[in-house]
Amino acid sequence: VNVTILGAGAWGTALALVLHENGHTITLWDVDGQHLTELERARRNVRYLPDVELPRAWTIEPDWPRAVKASDCLVLAVPSEGFRQVAARLHDTRALLVSVTKGLEYETGLTMSRILAKCMNGAAIAALSGPSFALEVARSIPTAIVAASADEATGHAVQRLFHRPAFRVYRSTDVLGVELGGALKNIMAIAAGVGDGLGFGDNSKAALVTRAISEMRRLGVARGAQPETFAGLSGLGDLALTCFSRLSRNRELGERLGRGEKIAAIMASEHRLAEGYPTARAAHRLARQMGVSTQIIDETHAILYAGKDVRQALLDLLARESKAED
């Protein structure tokens, strides 16, 4: 199968490795032509996934028409803020479309596969999400993930494409629940990281994770997702991973904030985007519009966008917890 990966970040590159090992023909495209030139020259993704050598067989293709033309499957691995632009260029494709981007669009509150559905007319669309650091996937460390599609046949097709002994793909038809789990947990990981930076320890992180999964479920169910999806790999599994693992970018962003760094300075120093940053803004807006109570999202949003003192935000979170459950 001819697969084109749109977006040569860490996750796009790691998934290209999985697909390559499954015998598929890989084309890699990115909006940043200079990044592709570097990647072609080094045969490594020096910027985002430097440890792994890239197979010679891959086509590194900066030209959009050539990248997408002969493709049977397009994997969208671009940041959420550039997602609609890329999706809009795909309107006439007949390929299977797989979104692997975790985020929400600010203006609409839509998940990535819904943006795709709005841009296309009846294409086969799926989302892939679950607890999966790119670095571990690239090293063939055992990983389990969910392929979600409203259409069962599409879900099966994505499962067949990606499934490997060390990359186990399960299926779900609750696309919205799977995508919301992946998107919202990045916000929670920022809050967990703030706790780390402030020295709050693992007991309080475990308490935060417990509250976070209810908050995610509450917002998700209000939006139409299935509650049980949040107890699965793409909900609880991904949340626990992102909040507890050292490898998480979103947790790390929170940790730096907790230690006293300013968000503007962090953003200026990082070329890797923590998706929880834009998602916090979009989820906060969505929750307000829907009238859903989201305490962790609110406090994280206040830290990121309203300059709220990190310690005060976490103490307010504890106080509000107490009010809610005492």
Q: How far is the CB of 208 from a copy of itself (least distance, A)?
A: 9
Residues 79-98, one symbol each (x = binds a copy of itself by CB under 8 A, - = not), give --------------------
Count of positions on this chain that bind a copy of itself (CB under 8 A): 43
Which residues, numbered 219-248, are part of the site for a copy of itself (CB under 8 A)? Answer: 231-233, 236-238, 240-241, 243-245, 247
In Å, how far are 195, 228, 243, 247 from 207, measured between CA atoms?
11, 20, 11, 21
DSSP bridge partners of 122: none
Q: Which stretch binds a copy of itself (CB under 8 A): 101-109, 114-122, 202-210, 281-289?
A: 202-210
Tell which one of 21, 32, 72, 136 touches a copy of itself (CB under 8 A): 136
**Taking CB under 8 A as the rule, does residue 72 contact a copy of itself?**
no
Tell which one of 24, 118, 168, 223 touches a copy of itself (CB under 8 A): 168
Tell me the three state secondary structure of residue 236: helix
| Contact present, 14 and 30 (Cβ < 8 Å) | no
Nearer to a copy of itself, 90 or 241 (CB): 241
**Taking CB under 8 A as the rule, does residue 214 contact a copy of itself?**
yes
| Contact present, 214 and 292 (Cβ < 8 Å) | no
Q: What is the largest CA-CA distance in the chain?
A: 60
Q: How far is the CB of 304 from a copy of itself (least distance, A)?
A: 22
Nearer to a copy of itself, 95 or 317 (CB): 317
Nearer to a copy of itself, 108 or 226 (CB): 226
Nearer to a copy of itself, 70 or 247 (CB): 247
- ∠ Cα 129 133 137 (to 5°): 95
**Taking CB under 8 A as the rule, does residue 152 contact a copy of itself?**
no
Tell which one of 210, 260, 288, 290 touches a copy of itself (CB under 8 A): 210
User: Which stretches of the chain are assigned E, i.e. beta strand?
Assistant: 2-6, 25-29, 44-45, 49-53, 59-60, 73-76, 96-99, 125-129, 143-148, 167-172
Active site residues: 185
Please, what is the angle between helix 10-21 and helix 152-162, to 10°? 80
Taking 3-state DSSP, the helix, strand and coil percentages for the chain, each rounded to the nearest 5, stand at 55, 15, 30
Tell which one of 23, 51, 65, 203 touches a copy of itself (CB under 8 A): 203
Instruction: Count how many Cα atoms sit within 13 Å of the Cα of residue 91 in the half-sphere of its side chain.
Output: 6
| Contact present, 93 and 86 (Cβ < 8 Å) | no
Interacting residues with a copy of itself (CB under 8 A): 130-133, 136-137, 139, 141-144, 168, 170, 199-207, 209-210, 213-214, 231-233, 236-238, 240-241, 243-245, 247, 318, 321-322, 325-326
